[in-house]
A and B are shown apart, each in its own frame.
Chain A
Amino acid sequence: MVKLAGLSLNEQEFLTDSLKQGIRSDGRSLDQFRDVEITLGDQPGYVDVRLGKTRVAVRVSGSITKPYEDRPFEGIFTISTEIGPIAGAFFENGRPSDEEVLVSRLIEKAIKRSGALDVEGLCIVAGDKCWNIRADIHFMDFDGGFIDASCIGVITALQHFSRPEVTVSGEQVVVYSTDEREPVKLSILHVPICVTFALFNPKEKEENIKGGADGNEEAGEFAIVDATMKEEGLSNGTLTITMNKNKEICQISKSGGLPAEGLMVMDCANKAYGIVEKLTDQIKEVLKQ
């Protein structure tokens, strides 16, 4: 994903060799997700997620605007991502790079397109007033797994956030301050969680593509869960699977990279489900407090 940030040839070889033997530099097994630390802020809608050294801050806010003309009965939900040099020296300020576009599109697809937030519930007066819920993702530190961390962040922040109560009488819309009336939670329809796999091919490219033909050749390629920055830089491509606890796949994205066997994708999806179950429970636990 990111260019190899100052990784020497020796280190590259060492990391790939040990991965081939199933050993990771941080002592995890190949299909183990890093421990996730979710901290809720004082205000509703602020969440800080740490995934190893990766740190993402998500802030959800709401305001009242006019709905889109083609969708008069729906509120507006936007997700904005900002990757600046604060996350790492290799991220540049200004124009988003291709990678960044992919990351932000992926998060958008995982949460917005999958209908995690019930936008119809955000409508106040059809065609005139609706809530505009905005999730700002700030990447504070980077050590791989941006997508996974920000997805956890956004979905937790959405559940943590509550908007002021609004009543409509005739033409008049009254917004009550949080002291006057209990604020309302957003309605979240399901909890999508992203799991990213980094794909590795220890052999030559040619063997990967042609090797399967004779049948006796064992497929050498393998996938590891939740790669760190170094592992991500070394990998030959990534595969992101988004699922929820109801065993629905919300999104799959494998944009190029190492050609992978269909069976391997199925295997990854199975592993992803285990992780999704665990993380959903963890989010629930955090929100209970």
Chain B
Amino acid sequence: MSNKELYSPEGLRLDGRRWNELKSFTCKVNTHQTSSDGSSYVQQGNTKVMCKVNGPLEPKSKANSNNNNASITVNLNIASFSPVERRKRPKSDRRIKEMMTILEKTFSETVITKLYPRTQIIVDCYVLSQDGGILSAVANSVTLALIDAGIAMYDFVSSINVGLYNNSIPILDLNHLEEGDMSFLTLGIVGKSEKLAMMLLEEKIPFDKLETLLGIGISGAQRIKDLMDEELRKHGKLLISTAAS
């Protein structure tokens, strides 16, 4: 695939979006009522992620027990059928382990862990289909599942990635073809603020472009937060109306 087709001179991307348009975002909460305390399903374009939260519960091992805070354990399963070309990845893959640690650290800071001392919160994420931005989709789904489980949090964590095309044009919410061809920044924003809970950049970008990317990423993440909030409120209303009748 040549580099030029990723962003046409008319300002359209491969999938017909403009530079600042998100992939279609849909989410559901409470998808697995019996097997978990909280669950969610997030779909960002063709990236599909499912998440289950169990806990706060008694730690399975002493190592996960902390006298002051709850400990959060994140498991990430990337299905071998999820990429375009079927590929089995061992769970010990360092990239997956890295993502798990990042998620654990991010959510340990946003969940009010001091309310649940000596407990463990287990988060299981399943990536069913990949089309770019796995880490952000997983982070979004974890936020929703934690809220669904009724675990106290300071605020939402909403996440998105921003790429830089030709070292000049910023592009929001990349798909997997775009991700393969340009360097991108993955951001996780706390609530409505402009505070970065997580931030990852893996390839080179010029220093003076960082600010632009941050700005666009923050506004994109806030849009994701609004969409998640909307869905949660809808779900809450539904719960109340069924309880009332």
Which A residues contact B (CB, under 8 angstroms)? 98-99, 101-102, 104-105, 109, 113-115, 205-206, 208-210, 212-213, 236-237, 239, 243, 247-262, 265-266, 269, 273
Q: Could you tell me if B206 and A247 are in contact, using CB atoms closer than 8 angstroms? A: yes
Q: Which of B6-14, B21-29, B41-49, B98-106 contacts A (4 or more CB under 8 A)?
A: B98-106
Interfacial residues of chain B within 66-105, with CB under 8 A of chain A in the complex: 94-95, 97-98, 100-105
Q: Which of A98, A102, A236, A252 contacts B201 (CB 8 A)?
A: A252
CB pair A249 B102 closer than 8 Å: no
Besides the contacts A105-B94, A243-B207, A262-B214, what 9 more A-B pairs have beta carbons closer than 8 Å? A104-B94, A205-B154, A208-B195, A209-B191, A251-B202, A254-B198, A255-B105, A261-B195, A266-B211
A248 to B201, CA, bound (A): 12
Residues of chain B with a CB closer than 8 A to A254's CB: 196, 198-200
B195–A259 touching, CB < 8 Å = yes
Q: Are B206 and A255 in contact (CB under 8 A)?
A: no
Q: Can you name 19 A-B residue pairings with CB atoms under 8 Å?
A: A99-B101, A102-B98, A205-B112, A209-B191, A210-B154, A210-B155, A212-B193, A212-B195, A248-B205, A249-B201, A250-B203, A251-B203, A255-B98, A256-B104, A256-B109, A259-B109, A260-B195, A262-B218, A266-B214
Closest to B195 in A: A259
CB distance from B205 to the nearest CB of A (A): 5
B152 to chain A, nearest CB (A): 11
Q: Are B214 and A256 in contact (CB-based, < 8 A)?
A: no
Give the most central of A210, A253, A254: most B CB within 10 Å. A254
Contact flag A249-B105 (CB < 8 Å), given A209-B155, A213-B193? no
Bound-state CA distance A179–B141 (Å) is 61
Give Cα A77–Cα B61 distance, bound, in whole angstroms: 39
**Which residues on B sit within 8 Å (CB–CB) of A249?**
201, 204-207, 210
| Structural contact, B201 and A251, CB atoms closer than 8 A | yes
Q: Tell me the complex Cα distance, A109–B112, Å.
A: 32
Q: How far is the CA of A256 from the CA of B135 in the complex (A)?
A: 13
**Within the assembled complex, what's the spacing in Å between the Cα atoms of A134 and B1?**
32
The 5 closest A-B pairs by CB, nearest first: A256-B105, A259-B195, A256-B106, A252-B201, A255-B102
- Whole-angstrom distance from the CB of A236 to the nearest CB of chain B? 8
In-complex Cβ contact of B202 among A101, A109, A248, A255 (8 A):
A109
Query: Which residue, of A115, A206, A259, has the highest number of chain B Cβ atoms within 10 A?
Result: A259
B205 pairs with A255, CB closer than 8 A: no
Contact B202 A113 (CB under 8 A): yes
Would you call A247 and B109 a contact (CB within 8 A)?
no
Contact B197–A256 (Cβ < 8 Å): yes
Per the bound structure, the CA–CA distance linking A205 and B113 in Å amounts to 11
How far apart are the CA atoms of A247 and B104 in the complex, in Å? 32
Summed over the interface, the residue pairs from A and B with CB atoms below 8 Å come to a total of: 126
Q: Does B171 make an interface contact (CB < 8 A)?
A: no
Taking the complex as formed, is B190 at the interface, i.e. its CB lies under 8 A from any CB of chain A? Answer: yes
Which of A213, A262, A269, A273 has its CB near the most chain B CB atoms (within 10 A)?
Answer: A262
B94 touches A259 (CB 8 A): no
Asked whether B108 is an interface residue with its Cβ less than 8 Å from the other chain, the reply is yes
Across the interface, do A273 and B101 meet the contact criterion of CB distance under 8 Å?
A: no
**CA–CA, A222 and B153, complex, Å:** 23
Decide yes or no whether B229 CB sits under 8 A from chain A. Answer: no
The 8 A CB mask of B199-238 against A (1 = contact, 0 = none) is 1111111111011001100100000000000000000000
Supposing A249-B207, A251-B201, A261-B194 touch, asked if A256 and B98 sit within 8 A by C-beta, the answer is no
- Specify the chain A residue showing the minimal Cβ separation from B201: A252
B107 within 8 A of A: yes
The reply to whether B101 and A260 form a contact with Cβ atoms under 8 Å apart is no
CA distance A279 to B57 in the complex (A): 49
**CB of B34 to closest CB in A, whole Å:** 31
Q: With A and B bound together, what is the CA distance between A115 and B202 in angstroms?
A: 11
Q: Which residues of B contact A243 (CB under 8 A)?
A: 207
**In this assembly, does B185 line the interface, its C-beta being within 8 Å of a C-beta of chain A?**
yes
Closest-by-CB residue of B relative to A247 is B207
- Residue of A247, A257, A269 with most chain B CB atoms under a 10 A cut-off: A257
Judge whether B203 and A98 touch: CB under 8 Å.
Answer: no
B207 proximity list for chain A (CB < 8 A): 243, 247-249, 269, 273
Q: Please, which residue of chain B has its CB at the minimum distance from the CB of A101?
A: B97
Nearest-neighbour CB distance to chain B for A284, whole angstroms, equals 20
Task: Please name all residues of chain A whose beta carbon is closer than 8 Å to the beta carbon of B107 when the two chains form the complex.
Answer: 256
Q: Is the CB of A248 within 8 A of B206?
A: yes
